[in-house]
Structure 1
């Protein structure tokens, strides 16, 4: 049986809150009830049936045929199942994700994976600012799971990250891993200014180097560590896949000594 499909008719006139359209919430619902779900964020009062043609199927797999930068909160608080977006998505993709998988063939807005605790988010294109980071007033960002980005990421990706893995194939904007508490971030391209600012613990692999660091990082010299080979092997077998630091000589920086200072950054020699 094929999955439950939402076919976009045309670009919506307002931003949409698509958080109700997750596998567990849609399970057992009739087509007319799904079409009546409210997704608008203005006085227009848009409902699912106003924006999408609904093609019934197994709700364990949800598919959006046609994306939009106005499709916000896709996969929010999802616990199980799979969501696939053909095209772009808006802000807060997979926020508070606890399990399952969210895949996007295009690019996404800010705060993707914010406060997620498990599961997988796979973004083929670019991601906006604060990937895996907290919303204003929150104390922790990403707390588990895996995020992969095929393109570039915006500013402060991994802000206050507590646990989990972020892999970025492209470049990272400024202040990557700001205030990082723990976890692992791998960036294949170059990182803009001051990655790891105020990080307490955690590990960064900046395989394309970095523009500059805060002066409170300490250069520990070359690092030919067995654990790097083990980590590369584990990534290859998992969701991340092959990583750029596999077998490459690396240089280690420690920091940020302005705070706890137990974090580590690995750079190409």
Structure 2
């Protein structure tokens, strides 16, 4: 049985909220019932059927055939055991507060990808916007579990207030990478700009060679870390390049000493 499929009819005239289209909420609904769901974000009403042609199927596997930067909140509160695939781009807050499952996007994503993610695995084959895995205004923590792989670049403040989980950015990262990091691990294989690990409490940031960061990180010497090699094995299937970073002897910088100083930045020797 094929999965539930949303085929793009037209680019929506406004941003649309697709949080109601998670698989568990659509179970048992007919195509007509799904197409009648309101997804508008302005005073102008817009229904699912105005944007998508719906083909019912196994809700455990949901597909979007065609994407848009106006598609917000895809996979919000996704539950374990379900998967969502988007053939194209997506908008803001992809995988917001997801509890599990898997989300893949072939294009790029907007800001706040995986904000509040608790356990989902998210793969973006393009770029990600600002505040990757970061909290919304007023929230105390960002992503609290799961794994995010970005094959392209990420915007500013990636990993802001990360609480738990793994972020891999295979391209470049914007300014203030890992700002206010609480815990968890961030990999960046490309270049970074601006402050790195500002006010990092207990998190780990793994960078490629030649990166510059502030004086509040102290050189703790080069180490051959057994845990890093074990960690590399778990990453190899998702990101061979990130796993390769951990296979080298690593130089450890402890910080941010402006706060607890129990975090770290690791770079290959």
Q: What residue in structure 1 maps to residue 129 of structure 2?
A: 128
Distance 2:202 2:16 in 1: 37
Matched-pair contact (CA < 8 Å) for 1:191–1:208: no
Tell me, yes or no, if the aligned pair for 2:160 and 2:179 is still in contact at 8 Å: yes
Alignment CA distance shift 1:193-1:23 (3 Å) = same
Instruction: Using structure 2 for the length normalisation, give the TM-score.
Output: 0.96
1:102-181 matched pairs, under 5 angstroms = 102-181=103-182
Structure 1 counterpart of 2:215: 215
User: Which moves more between the two structures, 15-24 or 245-254?
Assistant: 245-254
Structure 1 segments, 4+ long, off by >6 Å, are: none
Structure 1 counterpart SS, 2:179: coil
- Residues 46-67 of structure 1, C-alpha deviation per residue, up to 9 Å, x if partnerless? 0000111111111111110000
1:235 Cα deviation from its structure 2 partner = 1.5
Question: Structure 2 CA distance, aligned partners of 1:214 and 1:7?
Answer: 48
Matched, 1:20 2:20: yes
Aligned residue in 2 for 1:195: 196
Aligned to 2:83: 82
- Unaligned runs of 5+ residues in structure 1 are none
Which residue of the partner structure matches residue 57 of structure 1? Answer: 57
Query: What is the root-mean-square deviation in Å for CA atoms of aligned residues?
Result: 1.2
Aligned-pair distance for 1:248?
Answer: 2.1
Q: Is the 8 A contact 1:173 1:191 kept in 2?
A: yes
Q: C-alpha separation between the residues in 2 aligned to 1:97 and 1:44?
A: 28
State the Cα distance separating 1:213 from its structure 2 match.
Answer: 1.6
Q: Secondary structure at the match of 2:245?
A: coil
How many residue pairs get aligned? The number is: 267
Deviation readout 1:79-98 (Å, 9 max, x if unpaired): 13111100000000001010
CA distance in 1, matches of 2:236, 2:253: 24
* SS of equivalent residue, structure 1 residue 89: coil
CA distance in 1, matches of 2:207, 2:240: 16
Q: Any idea what the Cα deviations from partners look like across 1:210-231, whole Å, max 9, x if unmatched?
A: 2x32221111122222222121
Question: Whole-Å Cα distance in 1 between the matches of residues 146 and 192 of structure 2?
Answer: 22
